[in-house]
Chain A
Amino acid sequence: MKSIDKKDVIDMLKDWTNEYHVLCPNKKINDDCIFDGFEQDHFTLDYGKLSFCLKSAFFPQSEIIFEVEDNQYHEVISSEKTILFGIRACDMMGILQSSSFMSRDYGDVYYSAKDDATIKVVMACPGPQNETCFCTTTNSGPFAEKGFDLQFFDMGEEFLVEVGSKKGKELISGELFTDIDSGDAKGKIAAFKKKASEAIPKVDEIKSVMEMLKNGVVEDEEWEEFGQKCIACGGCAFVCPTCTCFNVYDLARDGSGMRVRGWDTCLYGGFTREASMHNPRPTQGSRLKRRYEHKLKDYNEQDLQGGLCTCVGCGRCSDVCPVDIGILNLVLAISRDYKSG
């Protein structure tokens, strides 16, 4: 096992930038923490839960997939040797589930090229990052079980570094890292994990609502009530680590231009509307139902990478929803409405 002094982390990142594009938390305007290219003057370890998950590293908000010239399609597959430093465990689970989804049946070259070129460094959480964290309920934190190349544990003055892959091991072979007694370190990490897990409140309603949805007891009227509030901004989907729906559109002039794919969401009315104008999900309630059944019901037979469901407990949908129908308020309401019945 190895460790690194906190004061040496900046030098470590600087070293890594020689060979990799290093994405990490930077404190920017308004003290907002943004996950982007390493900047020595802005880098911070005090970043809590980032407002955005890291899916855009593999699945950008919009991405050119073909350049088209005189109606000839030339594919554009962008990828770059990248290190993601400081991934939270919930986001690591999001990456694992999304990678599994994007490679099932048919591989998605745009996603996998970036996924393959990226080294994942997880920062285990010592406790909840804000009041909406519930990763212990969804088996997706506060530390990662797999998927990472390296995982950092904060011990105050230093980080203990757990190796998850060969690539990860090579990254910490430099002199900034100190060899330490493995038995001793394992004990410290175990204590860290126990304390961290106990500090994060469980949300039992997640499991009870999953059961209710599975049994089909939640009526459409309930969803329509939530639908009355929903302003269809799509915020919950865009910050969600496991929302990977997209649309494809062309930017064209005279047969040349580009074919682009960009984030889309099932909360938008046009998402399922067919050319005939028939819409299988005609109401906002039915669209909200879709989104939450996706997270809590429909995909639970699939490859969840050890998670409970396709919600990873990051709580961001609850953080951003302007009308308080993020997953936490939603499961509390459903569980209240259907408890006795």
Chain B
Amino acid sequence: MGVNKQLKEENIYKPLPVSIVRNLPQIKDHRLFQLKIENGTTWETFSHQPGQFIEVSIFGKGEAPISISSPPTRLDTLEICVRKVGILTNALFELGKGSTFYIRGPYGRGFPIDILKGHKLLLVAGGLGLAPLRSLLLYALDKRGEFDDIILMYGTNNPDNVLFKYELLSFFDRKDIKYLYSVDKDEEGIWKQYVGVVTGLFDQTELSPDDTYAVMCGPPVMYRFVIQKLLSLGFAKDHIYVSLERMMKCGVGKCGHCAIGDKYCCTDGPVFSYPEIESIKEAI
């Protein structure tokens, strides 16, 4: 008898050590962390899909869900774009190049690549919502032949808060992606593109709803307006996908924090088709 303390493999809660390769400031309070696995193995074995997330673990500060920003087509490092906003992310920002912390994952159901392939792709991002969408965007660009037109609509609140600025600027040189950028306000009058909310961008371009899939991620207020816009343009409900944010504490469908009606954001999502969540009031 007596309490049996044992060590066991395959514990879903056991985190894996990673270290910071580069720590790239983006905008105020936002950084892109490039990570490598400590024990020398590659991200290939990690085998994540665009739209999935990890649990970042810093002992003493807890764990928090962070979406993966890099695509599985670029496996040198795993990239996460983080806003300094809570206890864990504040601690993460204290860590420099070469520092070690822990992660678990990859978790969740990402973007439905097999459904999206062969179709036109409309990505609608607001603010930090670009972080998870970027994994899909770069994936599609790396496998450009597998997708029809790619259109990116990205809105931020002002010109100072544009994430991945240089990457977005680099699209100016490409003919195979359409990009439309907006800022809510431009008090200094420096913004050369659209000023207004992101839905305003829909009036700037022609879309063909029949063969386009719309995928979005942004602040809570954005979803309802963008979905309304898409439906009014004639998008079928099952051509609309959303990536949702919740307090996904465990990441494996056990702790209950991220439940949305009968679904768990961490295992059934974070990417949902609109019909899956349409009737769940608390979803968006």
Residues of A within 8 A of B (CB): 19-21, 65-66, 68, 71, 73-81, 101-102, 104-110, 113, 216, 220, 244-250, 252, 255, 257, 259, 264, 266, 271-276, 278, 280-281, 286, 290, 293-294, 297-299, 301
What chain A residues lie within 8 Å of B86 (beta carbons)? 275
Additional 19 contacts, C-beta under 8 A, given A75-B13, A105-B253, A257-B60: A65-B13, A71-B59, A77-B11, A81-B1, A106-B253, A109-B11, A113-B8, A245-B256, A246-B256, A250-B59, A266-B256, A271-B256, A272-B258, A274-B246, A275-B88, A275-B89, A275-B247, A278-B219, A290-B282
Chain B residue at minimal CB-CB distance from A252: B60
Chain A residue at minimal CB-CB distance from B85: A275
What chain B residues lie within 8 Å of A220 (beta carbons)? 281
Bound: A259/B4 CA distance, A:
18
What's the least CB distance linking B85 to chain A, in Å?
Answer: 5
Task: Say which residue of B10, B59, B219 sits within 8 Å of A109 (CB atoms).
Answer: B10
What chain B residues lie within 8 Å of A248 (beta carbons)? 13, 62-63, 249-250, 255
Task: Say which residue of A73, A109, A298 sits within 8 Å of B12 (CB atoms).
Answer: A109
* B256 pairs with A78, CB closer than 8 A: no
What's the least CB distance linking A224 to chain B, in Å?
Answer: 13
A-B contact pairs, 12 of them (CB 8 A): A65-B13, A73-B59, A75-B14, A77-B7, A77-B8, A78-B3, A248-B13, A252-B59, A257-B60, A275-B64, A276-B83, A280-B282
* B255 pairs with A274, CB closer than 8 A: no
* A80 pairs with B8, CB closer than 8 A: no
What's the least CB distance linking B281 to chain A, in Å?
Answer: 8
Chain A residue at minimal CB-CB distance from B263: A298
Task: Say which residue of A106, A216, A246, A257 sits within 8 Å of B59 (CB atoms).
Answer: A257
Q: Which 3 A-B pairs have the closest CB atoms?
A: A275-B86, A245-B256, A252-B60
What's the least CB distance linking A242 to chain B, in Å?
Answer: 11
- Taking chain B's interface residues, is the majority helix, strand, or loop, or is none over half, making it mixed? loop
The answer to whether residues A107 and B12 also contact, given A246-B254, A247-B255, A264-B256 and a CB cut-off of 8 A, is yes
What chain B residues lie within 8 Å of A65 (beta carbons)? 13
Q: Does B15 contact A (CB under 8 A)?
A: yes
What's the least CB distance linking A65 to chain B, in Å?
Answer: 6
What's the least CB distance linking A332 to chain B, in Å?
Answer: 24
What's the least CB distance linking B204 to chain A, in Å?
Answer: 29
Q: Does B39 contact A (CB under 8 A)?
A: no
Chain A residue at minimal CB-CB distance from B89: A275
Which of B30-79 touch A at CB < 8 Å? 59-64
Bound: A307/B49 CA distance, A:
37
Count of chain B residues with a beta carbon within 8 Å of a chain A beta carbon = 50
* A73 pairs with B14, CB closer than 8 A: yes
Chain B residue at minimal CB-CB distance from A265: B256
What chain A residues lie within 8 Å of B279 (beta carbons)? 216
Bound: A44/B18 CA distance, A:
54
* B254 pairs with A244, CB closer than 8 A: yes
Task: Say which residue of A105, A249, A272 sits within 8 Å of B247 (CB atoms).
Answer: A272
Chain B residue at minimal CB-CB distance from A250: B60
What chain B residues lie within 8 Å of A298 (beta carbons)? 259, 261-262
The answer to whether residues A77 and B1 also contact, given A248-B255, A257-B59 and a CB cut-off of 8 A, is no
* A105 pairs with B252, CB closer than 8 A: yes
What chain A residues lie within 8 Å of B262 (beta carbons)? 297-299, 301
What's the least CB distance linking B124 to chain A, in Å?
Answer: 19
Chain B residue at minimal CB-CB distance from A272: B247
What chain A residues lie within 8 Å of B59 (beta carbons)? 68, 71, 73, 250, 252, 255, 257, 259
What's the least CB distance linking A196 to chain B, in Å?
Answer: 33
The answer to whether residues A71 and B8 also contact, given A102-B254, A280-B282, A290-B259 and a CB cut-off of 8 A, is no
Bound: A81/B63 CA distance, A:
32
Q: Does B192 contact A (CB under 8 A)?
A: no
Bound: A81/B4 CA distance, A:
9
Give the most central of B13, B220, B253: most A CB within 10 Å. B13
* A106 pairs with B3, CB closer than 8 A: no
What's the least CB distance linking A68 to chain B, in Å?
Answer: 5
Q: Does B145 contact A (CB under 8 A)?
A: no
Q: Does B5 contact A (CB under 8 A)?
A: yes
What's the least CB distance linking A275 to chain B, in Å?
Answer: 3
Q: Chain B 272-284 against A: per-residue CB contact (8 Å), 1 yes, 0 no?
A: 0000000101100
* A276 pairs with B13, CB closer than 8 A: no
What's the least CB distance linking B92 to chain A, in Å?
Answer: 11
Q: Chain B 196-208 against A: per-residue CB contact (8 Å), 1 yes, 0 no?
A: 0000000000000
What chain A residues lie within 8 Å of B254 (beta carbons)? 101-102, 106, 108, 244, 246
What chain A residues lie within 8 Å of B64 (beta carbons)? 275
What chain A residues lie within 8 Å of B13 (beta carbons)? 65-66, 75, 109-110, 248
What chain A residues lie within 8 Å of B3 (beta carbons)? 78-80
* A278 pairs with B14, CB closer than 8 A: no
Bound: A275/B63 CA distance, A:
12
Chain B residue at minimal CB-CB distance from A79: B4
Q: Does B100 contact A (CB under 8 A)?
A: yes
The answer to whether residues A75 and B7 also contact, given A80-B1, A252-B59 and a CB cut-off of 8 A, is yes
Bound: A66/B104 CA distance, A:
14
Q: Does B6 contact A (CB under 8 A)?
A: yes
The answer to whether residues A245 and B245 also contact, given A275-B85, A280-B282 and a CB cut-off of 8 A, is no
Bound: A21/B1 CA distance, A:
7
What chain B residues lie within 8 Å of A250 (beta carbons)? 59-62
